[in-house]
A and B are shown apart, each in its own frame.
Chain A
Amino acid sequence: MLRNFFAGVFFAVFITQAKSENYVIELKNNTFNPEVLYIPAHKKIKIKIINFDPEPEEFDSFDLNREKVLFPNKPATIYIGPLAPGEYFYFGEFHPNIAKGKMIATDTDVDHADKMGTGDAD
């Protein structure tokens, strides 16, 4: 009984794969597209990053505490959030001057973010 309880708590707290919204960022010619991604605040987000360049790149963000190596023509997935409303900058570690962008976490609903033409929620 007690073991089941702790197992339940463990799964609820640590291993729960909460439903998250999906977004896509593409890397072409060392430039992230979209450069500005609107995402809902206070929600966990799944972001698929696809590198269309012939060489690897590293997605890096001090604001989001994320770093992920992006291999050519391979999608890489990272989870971020839940984030407080605000701007979160990211960049390509190997081309920081041109490969850069930001995510704007907003309290407005997801539909609004999609209308901005930047979200790819599914």
Chain B
Amino acid sequence: MLTNTLVLFLRDLLPMFIMFAYLKAIYRPHFDGSLRIWVTVLCGCSIGLVVLFYYENLSDYFEGTGIEWLKIVLVSISFIGFLLSQIFSLATLWNYFLSVAVVCLLSVHFSSFLLYFAVYFAYDIVVFELLIGCLIGVGICVSFYFLYSFFVEELWDSKLYPVILLLWSLFVANQLSLMTNYLHQIDVVDFGTRRFVDLSDWVKEGSEYGFILKALSGFDASPSVFYSLVVAIAFVTMFFLALLNRSHLRQHKKSLEARPMEQTQ
């Protein structure tokens, strides 16, 4: 029970903590303890709760594939949001795109995470174990967030922007890749179902390393050809746009940081 609870934390919540570590470093003026981040988290969690509440009803739609479709749509919107947030010509809108992207991704992960607890909190016997598991799980996620946040910010401050943008693009691309397995699972896409590569002898997805790698980069030990193709295209697109946008972001950040100084003068 305890192990299982921790696994759920690593699978569903850790990627979200990692996402916020990236956002904090890359979009520091906007996603660093501001009201925006709390509103975004609240919206994501609320939608996740609503999805959980209607989970069974939603799953009945489209011949039992409602949940898969919902997650495909949310993950796609999220990816589009992340992409649009890299287009600086949409200057007044980019932070809204980013917020929408975060809300969608958060609701996907949070609804999956809550389902487990909705099942187990019905049994009084295991509530204590669940609470202990939650405490440890939150501890692991928060500790990982602070460590990773420190690591990412140090790299960012050391002007190693391409490294961070590469890792961030890989993370975003792999979040989109969630849809590929769903599309195969409901038989909408019949292309590229065969395994592209099998790394399960090196790192097992169910191991501790597997979970951490999956949370960091969406690691899949035996990805299908379609999965690999989607990840590759999404990664290249995101990384290219992020690099293009980098100089604009830096200028924007500088102007924001300079603004309070001007006001004090």
Contacts and interface: CB of A to CB of B under 8 A. Distances in A.
Interface of A: 13-18, 20, 44, 46, 55-56, 58, 62-63, 65-69, 71, 74-82, 84, 93-94, 96
Contacts of A78: 185-186
25 contacts: A13-B190, A13-B191, A14-B189, A17-B187, A44-B190, A56-B56, A58-B115, A62-B200, A62-B204, A62-B205, A62-B206, A62-B210, A63-B222, A65-B220, A65-B222, A65-B227, A67-B181, A68-B185, A71-B59, A77-B63, A77-B64, A79-B187, A81-B193, A93-B116, A94-B119
Nearest to B67: A69
Given A44-B193, A62-B206, A76 B185 contact: no
B246 interface: no
Contact of B195 (A58, A80, A84): A84
A67 B55 CA distance: 15
Interface string B6-50: 011000000000000000000000000000000000000000000
- Of the four ranges (under 10, 10 to 19, 20 to 34, 35 or more), the interface on chain B belongs to 35 or more
A3 B204 CA distance: 45
Interface of B: 4, 7-8, 55-56, 59, 63-64, 67, 115-116, 119-120, 122, 181, 184-191, 193-195, 200, 204-206, 210, 220-224, 227
CB-based closest 4 A-B pairs: A62-B205, A79-B187, A65-B181, A78-B185
Contacts of B205: 62
A82 to B, nearest CB: 6
Contacts of B210: 62
B169 to A, nearest CB: 22
Given A56-B119, A94-B4, A94-B120, A66 B185 contact: yes
A17 to B, nearest CB: 6
A18 B190 contact: yes
Nearest to B195: A84
Contacts of A44: 187, 190, 193
Contact of B190 (A17, A68, A75, A94): A17
Contacts of A63: 200, 222
A55 B122 contact: yes
Contact of B193 (A17, A82, A93, A94): A82
Contacts of A75: 64
Nearest to A46: B187
Given A17-B190, A58-B115, A62-B221, A71 B56 contact: yes
Contacts of B186: 78-79
A16 B119 contact: no
B231 to A, nearest CB: 13
B199 to A, nearest CB: 11
B119 A65 contact: no
A79 B222 contact: no
A55 B123 CA distance: 11
